[in-house]
């Protein structure tokens, strides 16, 4: 046992050292100039965010242990050891540092990042001292309302009419708050939320460069690098995670990615692609949130919105797949593959004919049925 622990500790130190050396090289002005002019700003931002996140995560773990910001086992939780909760901080710092030091933000992107920091700080206090779910939702609502007031709003319905603008605002609120909390719900198994954040960021980055939106692409790749730098500490081949994202990290991930989807342009005058592509990329989160809501209402577990906010249980997708597969890592990898499969469909959808686009959406529906069957089996085993 000591030999295994010593080996794993050595590997973590090697990983940290490599990340520190990479960061040191990236900070050299000549290296930065070479990337910007010969390789690409996008790769520099990706590697910069990755290295900062990897270097800062052990420090965040140390701080969390000193301040006793930890997640204790018990109840619906499936981990077996007290685990630090400040994993979101290195992701936030790496993400912001990579963007603010290497690109020029317009007003709306600056507001988007500011909104993400605000909801993350509220969640940080929740990780430390504890807050009610209602207060956190209220804070998210205020931030989203500010974004809408500043022009970051979905354009599904005619925006020149009162009813169209009102519906656009409503769907913007539901989308951002729904995805934000769905990502928070996904943070119930080692590596799941950070891995989903990385996969979703990857496909959003691909769409951004397909549609000539470099700002959106840089933001997505900064998030991708931040998640990848953190992931080895959170999703280990053997043993439990060394540190969790906490609500700070999962809420920040969900909010930034959801708001970025609202800000971005998904297609040129193609309503099917514009609507379907982001839905496919975020489908795992949308499905889990929708499934548990419907099931809890039908089963009588929740009878009003307040009970829905306060309810906690082991009925999420990852819990059910764990019951079926009998292994947490297999359950997480399975969800990764679902998310990646649907993300590939979203990419293929962009250049698809009308009939091909409809078939891709049907394919996603069939995958949903397969997952539902597995969830039902997991429910019976639970």
What does pLDDT average to in each consecutive run of 10 residues of the chain (382 residues)?
A: 56 92 95 92 95 97 92 65 90 96 85 96 92 92 95 85 90 96 92 96 93 92 97 87 93 97 76 79 93 87 80 84 90 95 89 77 88 81 66
User: Do 1 and 21 lie in a common domain?
Assistant: yes
User: Do 199 and 135 lie in a common domain?
Assistant: yes
- CA 184 to CA 178: how far, in whole Å? 10
Total number of domains in the chain = 2
Domain end, chosen from 265, 293, 310, is at 265
- Contact assessment for residue 366 and residue 285, using Cβ atoms and an 8 Å cutoff: no
Predicted confidence at residue 2, as pLDDT, reads 37
User: Do 356 and 255 lie in a common domain?
Assistant: no
User: Do 247 and 360 lie in a common domain?
Assistant: no
CA distance from start to end of the chain: 32
Residue at token pair 């590939």:
344
Domain end, chosen from 231, 265, 299, is at 265
User: Do 204 and 337 lie in a common domain?
Assistant: no
User: Do 49 and 190 lie in a common domain?
Assistant: yes
Predicted confidence at residue 282, as pLDDT, reads 96
* Cα 256-258-260 angle, rounded to 5 deg: 65
Alpha helices in the chain (DSSP H): 2-26, 29-34, 41-67, 88-100, 107-128, 133-149, 162-186, 192-210, 214-234, 246-263, 271-281, 283-298, 305-310, 317-325, 328-349, 354-381
Predicted confidence at residue 138, as pLDDT, reads 95
Predicted confidence at residue 6, as pLDDT, reads 57
State residue 69 phi and psi, 5-degree precision: -95, 85
User: Do 35 and 168 lie in a common domain?
Assistant: yes
User: Do 298 and 237 lie in a common domain?
Assistant: no
User: Do 124 and 273 lie in a common domain?
Assistant: no
- CA 348 to CA 58: how far, in whole Å? 39
Count CA within 13 A, CB hemisphere, residue 218. 23
User: Do 343 and 233 lie in a common domain?
Assistant: no
Predicted confidence at residue 344, as pLDDT, reads 93
Domain holding 328, by residue range, is: 268-382
Predicted confidence at residue 160, as pLDDT, reads 82
Domain end, chosen from 265, 287, 305, is at 265
* Rg of the chain taking only CA atoms, in angstroms: 20
Predicted confidence at residue 1, as pLDDT, reads 38
- Contact assessment for residue 113 and residue 55, using Cβ atoms and an 8 Å cutoff: no
- Contact assessment for residue 77 and residue 189, using Cβ atoms and an 8 Å cutoff: no
Predicted confidence at residue 3, as pLDDT, reads 44
User: Do 202 and 339 lie in a common domain?
Assistant: no
User: Do 186 and 236 lie in a common domain?
Assistant: yes
Strand partners, 3: none
């Amino acid at each position: 046992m000591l030999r295994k622990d010593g080996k794993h500790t050595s590997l973590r130190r090697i990983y940290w050292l490599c990340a520190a050396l990479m960061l040191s090289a990236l900070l050299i002005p000549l290296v930065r100039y070479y990337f910007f002019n010969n390789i690409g700003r996008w790769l520099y931002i990706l590697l910069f965010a990755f290295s900062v996140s990897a270097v800062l995560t052990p420090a965040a773990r140390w701080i969390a242990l000193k301040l006793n910001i930890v997640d204790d086992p018990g109840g619906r939780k499936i981990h077996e050891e007290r685990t630090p909760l400040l994993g979101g901080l290195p992701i936030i710092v790496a993400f912001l540092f990579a963007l603010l030091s290497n690109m020029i933000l317009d007003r709306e992107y600056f507001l988007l990042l500011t909104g993400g920091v605000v909801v993350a700080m509220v969640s940080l206090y929740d990780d430390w001292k504890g807050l009610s779910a209602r207060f956190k939702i209220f804070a998210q609502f205020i931030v989203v309302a500010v974004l809408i007031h500043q022009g970051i709003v979905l354009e599904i319905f005619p925006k020149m009419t009162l009813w169209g603008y009102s519906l656009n605002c409503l769907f913007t609120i539901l989308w951002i708050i729904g995805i934000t909390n769905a990502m928070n719900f996904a943070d119930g198994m080692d590596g799941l939320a950070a891995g989903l954040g990385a996969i979703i960021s990857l496909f959003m980055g691909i769409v951004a460069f397909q549609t000539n939106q470099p700002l959106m692409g840089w933001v997505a790749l900064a998030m991708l690098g931040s998640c990848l730098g953190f992931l080895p500490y959170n999703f280990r081949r053997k043993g439990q995670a060394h540190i969790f994202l906490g609500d700070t990290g999962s809420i920040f991930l969900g909010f930034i990615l959801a708001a970025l989807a609202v800000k971005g342009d998904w297609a040129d005058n193609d309503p099917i692609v514009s609507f379907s592509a982001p839905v496919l990329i975020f489908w795992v989160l949308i499905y889990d949130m929708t499934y548990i809501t419907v099931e809890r209402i039908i089963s009588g577990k929740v009878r009003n919105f307040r009970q829905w906010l306060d309810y906690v249980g082991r009925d999420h997708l990852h819990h059910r797949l764990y019951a079926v597969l009998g292994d947490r890592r297999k359950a997480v990898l399975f969800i990764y593959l679902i998310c990646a499969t649907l993300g590939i469909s979203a990419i293929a959808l962009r250049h698809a004919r009308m009939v091909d686009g409809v078939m891709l959406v049907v394919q996603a529906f069939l995958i949903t049925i397969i997952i539902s069957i597995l969830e039902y089996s997991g429910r019976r085993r639970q």
